[in-house]
């Protein structure tokens, strides 16, 4: 690899194998691979194709545009998208055979209208708010949605019901049982209205890995397919049997020796303790290296892991490698596979006081994505 700046190496074989591993654990339930947010920063199209190669029979996106981009790339897998806005691309999605999650009456009416105009029957999944209080229709308002779906059944086909957990990363949390109960009430209400649901789905990654009783016949893992734990309380990625997919690299841009007591980077929040060799790494917060990981983020260089010295800047940060010999062009690994001795995404999440999700989804557009082990 010759790219001088930060680059993300994406192991699509690992992604496919994570999907396959999950598929094997979920028995008869099919896998919907969540590829929203540019496949959690891994690249939408290549990641989606690898997920399908690994056995995902559905793909899921938050934004309609992400779903349309998948179709435009020739991906024929069943696709569900669920975060529409009032004037969103309902018609385009219906025309492209994309399933739509519906959380409120206005969206359902817009779908009915566009489906009629296109002379197509739209496939929809009723998204139930079972206690997250985010997207989704409450049990109280579900009646009305079901009534509309039934009276307009020439234009809409309710094929699914879905919901999302607030606390799946804490498997014993009491809200889990409460949400399952509300979901079951919603299913009963929908089915009592004569609607025959093709798929029922509630499980994100954490629930997919730890709550088999909520697999129903479709699970919706996101973070786990990228080889990142949904929560350290559930175990590390390795303990969960997941393989890291992304590793983040940058080549040393400059080295120099400075005296003891040198203040490093903006604000001099770090001073060298003795004469020290410095390595300048050309990756900064615009590339997704969190500024909040200043003086904390771990970086593997020349077989040793150092913490960032001083503040992370927009395009770069500095390592104090002591008396180690480091050369321009040497490869620094910010995160990758701990089994290769590299820091993990989780290490960075701890350093930046966030979650692994945010570390990978914020990797900036300027970082090259380099794909390896592409499944055939």
Q: Which residues bind ligand PLP (CB under 6 A)?
A: 34, 36, 62, 82, 164, 204-205, 220-224, 230
Whichever of 237 and 332 has its CB closer to ligand PLP, that residue is 237
Whichever of 330 and 358 has its CB closer to ligand PLP, that residue is 358
Whichever of 223 and 352 has its CB closer to ligand PLP, that residue is 223
Residues 6 or more apart whose CB falls under 8 angstroms from that of 267 comprise: 310, 311
Whichever of 202 and 332 has its CB closer to ligand PLP, that residue is 202
| Least distance between ligand PLP and beta carbon 16 (Å) | 17
Our answer to whether residue 36 is catalytic in this structure is yes
SS3 for the chain is CCCCCCEEEEEHHHHHHHHHHHHHHCCCCEEEEECHHHHHCCCHHHHHHHHHHCCCCEEEECCHHHHHHHHHCCCCCEEEECCCCCCCCHHHHHHCCCEEEECCHHHHHHHHHHHHHHCCCEEEEEEECCCCCCCCECHHHHHHHHHHHHHCCCCEEEEEEECCCCCCCCCCCHHHHHHHHHHHHHHHHHHHCCCCCCEEEEECHHHHHHCHHHCCCEECCCHHHHCCCCCHHHCCHHHHCCCCCEEEEEECCEEEEECCCCEECHHHCEECCCCEEEEEECCCHHHCCCHHHCCCCEEEECCEEEEEECCCCCCCEEEECCCCCCCCCCEEEEECCHHHCCCCHHHHHHHCCCCHHHHHHCCCCCCEEEEECCCC
| Least distance between ligand PLP and beta carbon 231 (Å) | 9
Catalytic residue, chosen from 36, 49, 127, 243, is 36
Catalytic residue, chosen from 172, 256, 266, 285, is 266
Whichever of 224 and 363 has its CB closer to ligand PLP, that residue is 224
Whichever of 218 and 250 has its CB closer to ligand PLP, that residue is 218
CA atoms within 13 A on the CB side of 48: 28
| Least distance between ligand PLP and beta carbon 36 (Å) | 6
Our answer to whether residue 266 is catalytic in this structure is yes
State in Å, rounded, how far the first CA of the chain is from the last one: 22
| Least distance between ligand PLP and beta carbon 40 (Å) | 7
Residue at shortest CB range from ligand PLP: 222
Whichever of 49 and 164 has its CB closer to ligand PLP, that residue is 164
| Least distance between ligand PLP and beta carbon 174 (Å) | 20
| Least distance between ligand PLP and beta carbon 349 (Å) | 14
| Least distance between ligand PLP and beta carbon 13 (Å) | 20
Q: How many CB atoms lie within 10 A of CB 274?
A: 10
Q: By C-alpha distance, which of 279, 366, 294 is closest to 330? A: 279
Altogether, the residues listed in the chain come to a count of: 376
The C-alpha atoms of residue 278 and residue 332 are separated, in whole angstroms, by 13
| Least distance between ligand PLP and beta carbon 161 (Å) | 12
Q: How many CB atoms lie within 10 A of CB 222?
A: 22
Mind telling me the catalytic residues? 36, 266
């Amino acid at each position: 690899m010759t790219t001088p700046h930060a680059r993300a190496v994406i192991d699509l074989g690992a992604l496919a194998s994570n999907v396959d591993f999950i598929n094997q654990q979920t028995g008869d339930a099919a896998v919907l691979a969540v590829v929203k947010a540019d496949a959690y920063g891994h690249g939408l199209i290549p990641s989606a194709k690898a997920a399908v190669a690994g056995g995902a029979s559905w793909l899921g996106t938050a934004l309609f545009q992400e779903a349309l981009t998948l179709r435009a790339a020739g991906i024929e897998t069943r696709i569900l998208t669920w975060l529409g806005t009032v004037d969103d691309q309902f018609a385009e999605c219906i025309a492209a055979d994309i399933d739509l999650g519906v959380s409120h009456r206005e969206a359902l009416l817009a779908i009915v209208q566009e489906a009629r105009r296109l002379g197509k029957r739209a496939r929809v999944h009723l998204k139930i708010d079972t206690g997250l209080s985010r997207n989704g229709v409450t049990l109280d308002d579900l009646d009305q949605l079901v009534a509309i779906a039934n009276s307009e059944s020439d234009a809409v086909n309710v094929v699914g019901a879905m919901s999302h957990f607030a606390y799946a990363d804490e498997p014993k949390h009491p809200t889990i049982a409460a949400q399952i109960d509300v979901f079951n009430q919603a299913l009963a209400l929908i089915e009592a209205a004569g609607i025959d649901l093709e798929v029922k789905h509630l499980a994100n990654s954490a629930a997919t890995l730890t709550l088999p009783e909520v697999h129903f016949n479709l699970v919706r893992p996101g973070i786990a397919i990228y080889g990142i734990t949904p929560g350290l309380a559930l175990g590390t990625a390795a303990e969960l049997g997941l393989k890291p997919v992304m590793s983040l690299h940058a080549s040393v841009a400059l080295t120099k020796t400075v005296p003891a007591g040198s203040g490093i980077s903006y604000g001099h929040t770090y001073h060298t303790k003795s004469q020290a060799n410095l390595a300048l790494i050309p990756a900064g917060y615009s590339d997704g290296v969190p500024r909040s990981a200043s003086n904390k983020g771990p970086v593997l260089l020349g077989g040793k892991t150092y913490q960032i010295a001083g503040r992370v800047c927009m395009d770069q940060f500095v390592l104090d490698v002591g008396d180690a010999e480091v050369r321009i062009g040497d490869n620094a690994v910010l995160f990758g596979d701990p089994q290769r001795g590299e820091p993990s995404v989780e290490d960075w999440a701890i350093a930046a006081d966030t979650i692994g999700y945010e570390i990978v989804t914020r990797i900036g557009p300027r970082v090259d994505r380099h794909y390896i082990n592409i499944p055939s």
